[in-house]
């Protein structure tokens, strides 16, 4: 074998090893990729098939939280265009409230109820998950310049907490 042929064989073997490694990484990650859906997308039938994991985001509908036995909690998530009933077994985050932003991770059951195994609530009054804010913007229900629970549209703040357009003396 000539020197050129050995080099080509080495490059081919390295390429094959990299391809196998990439394939193994992608195969291992196939179960951890979770997509975001809004209640309106689910209502339009754009959601994934029942049993497939995804994230549902929106606002907890006022008056919809019902606590049952053994830590069972049911509530409704809305993006002001559609609603999806959610069932969750376990402890909710301390900041979980009606009218606040929430992202639930789980799967849609055949009856149209979202079975959540993880519920994430906002962490302060200026936070809304980006996916929820984007979904509200798509529907035209987001008002730029207004103070929203996402901090989106609010005046930018400096490190000292003031408005950057105002001079500090």
CATH of the domain at 41: 2.40.50.140
Residue 111 belongs to a domain:
yes
Residue 9 belongs to a domain:
no
Residue 157 belongs to a domain:
no
Q: How far apart are CA 77 and CA 124, in angstroms?
A: 19
How does residue 149 score in pLDDT terms, banded at 50, 70 and 90? Answer: very low
Q: Structure pTM?
A: 0.59
CB atoms near residue 122 (< 10 Å): 20
CB atoms near residue 83 (< 10 Å): 18
pLDDT tens for each residue of 1-31: 899 999 999 999 999 999 999 999 988 887 6
- Residue 71 tokens, joined: 């830590």
Domain count for the chain, please give it.
1
- Residue 87 tokens, joined: 């069932």
Q: How far apart are CA 77 and CA 91, in angstroms?
A: 17
Q: How far apart are CA 72 and CA 91, in angstroms?
A: 9
Q: How far apart are CA 140 and CA 93, in angstroms?
A: 29
Average pLDDT score over residue span 58-77: 90
pLDDT tens for each residue of 73-109: 999 999 888 899 999 998 888 888 888 888 999 988 8
Residue 99 belongs to a domain:
yes
- In terms of DSSP bridges, do strands 35-37 and 72-78 run parallel, antiparallel, or are they unpaired? unpaired
Residue 110 belongs to a domain:
yes
How does residue 148 score in pLDDT terms, banded at 50, 70 and 90? Answer: very low
How does residue 150 score in pLDDT terms, banded at 50, 70 and 90? Answer: very low
Residue 8 belongs to a domain:
no
Evaluate if residue 133 carries a pLDDT over 90: no
Residue 43 belongs to a domain:
yes
Q: Mean pLDDT, the chain, as a whole number?
A: 78
Name the residue range of residue 59's domain: 35-138
């Amino acid at each position: 074998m000539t020197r050129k042929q050995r080099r080509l064989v080495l490059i081919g073997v390295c390429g094959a090893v990299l391809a196998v490694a990439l394939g193994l990484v992608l195969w291992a990650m196939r179960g951890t990729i979770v997509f975001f859906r809004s209640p309106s997308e689910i209502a339009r039938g754009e959601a994934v098939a029942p049993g497939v994991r995804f994230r549902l985001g929106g606002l907890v509908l006022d008056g919809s939280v019902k606590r049952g036995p053994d830590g069972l909690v049911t509530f409704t998530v809305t993006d002001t265009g559609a609603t999806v009933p959610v069932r969750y077994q376990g402890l909710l985050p301390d900041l979980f409230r009606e009218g606040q932003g929430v992202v639930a991770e789980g799967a849609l059951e055949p009856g149209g109820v979202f079975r959540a195994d993880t519920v994430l609530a906002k962490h302060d009054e200026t936070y809304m998950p980006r996916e929820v804010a984007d979904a509200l913007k798509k529907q035209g229900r987001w008002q730029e310049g207004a103070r929203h629970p996402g901090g989106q549209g609010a005046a930018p703040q400096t490190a000292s907490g003031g408005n950057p357009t105002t001079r500090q003396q």
